């Protein structure tokens, strides 16, 4: 099982950026925790990608075609704006789980809609770094059930 973890803009600033909203954990720490959980769950390969650039995220999704079984994505602000990222996910038809560290429904109205949530397997929002771990567990279960 191959899973790619994709993080969008400003998430490289986790730990520094608005800690009252996003927590104190850095992206590096989140990735390390995901790698540990991946081993525990027996996920063969976990790849990590972060970019502040929309087109690079589109490329990373396209390059996953026929290579990656599932995507865990925090699209960050692009989730609220990017039809291109939605289209890339539809193009590769790779099952994905959308995660957010903050609870987007508790925040400004413009964060309540994302262009990914209606095509995601599911959305986890509001549990800080744990959103990622919960998301990985959910994605792993979904992929396991698809192959069995």
| Chain contacts with ligand DQA (rule: CB under 6 A) | 10, 74, 76-77, 100-102, 104, 111
CB of 69 or CB of 120, closer to ligand DQA: 120
CB of 54 to ligand DQA, least distance (A): 13
Tell me how far CA of residue 83 lies from CA of 66, 96, 115, in angstroms: 22, 16, 7
Angle between helices 130-147 and 27-41 (to 10 degrees): 30
Judge whether 22 counts as a catalytic residue. yes
- Closest distance of CB 138 from ligand DQA, Å: 16
- Report the nearest approach of ligand DQA to the CB of residue 96 (Å): 14
Catalytic site residue from 22, 78, 115, 132: 22
132 catalytic, yes or no? no
> With the C-alpha atoms ordered 10, 1, 127, 81, is the resulting torsion angle positive or negative?
positive
| Residue of 65, 78, 80, 100 marked catalytic | 100
Which is nearer to ligand DQA, 69 or 98 (by Cβ)?
A: 98
In whole angstroms, the minimum distance from the beta carbon of 126 to ligand DQA comes to 8
Distance of CA 42 to the CA centre of its chain: 19
Q: 22 vs 69, which CB is nearer to ligand DQA?
A: 22
> What count of other Cβ atoms lies within 10 Å of the Cβ of residue 98?
25
Instruction: Name the residue among 147, 78, 88 with its Cα closest to residue 119.
Output: 88
Nearest to 23 by CA among 7, 39, 11: 11
Considering the complex, state which of residue 94 and residue 101 has its C-beta at the smaller distance from ligand DQA. Answer: 101
Question: Which residues are marked as active site?
Answer: 22, 100
């Amino acid at each position: 099982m191959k899973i790619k973890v994709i993080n969008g803009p400003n998430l490289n600033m986790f730990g520094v950026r608005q800690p009252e909203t996003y927590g104190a954990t850095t992206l590096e720490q989140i990735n390390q925790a995901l790698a540990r959980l991946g081993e525990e769950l027996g996920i063969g390969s976990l790849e990590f990608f972060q970019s502040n650039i929309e087109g690079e995220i589109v490329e990373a999704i396209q390059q996953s075609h026929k290579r990656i079984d599932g995507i865990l994505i925090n699209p960050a602000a692009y989730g609220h704006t990017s039809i291109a990222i939605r289209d890339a996910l539809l193009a590769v038809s790779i099952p994905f789980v959308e995660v957010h560290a903050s609870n987007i429904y508790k925040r400004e109205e413009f964060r309540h809609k994302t262009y990914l949530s209606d095509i995601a397997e599911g959305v986890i929002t509001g549990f800080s770094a744990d959103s990622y771990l919960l998301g990985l567990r959910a994605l792993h279960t979904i992929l396991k059930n698809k192959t069995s």
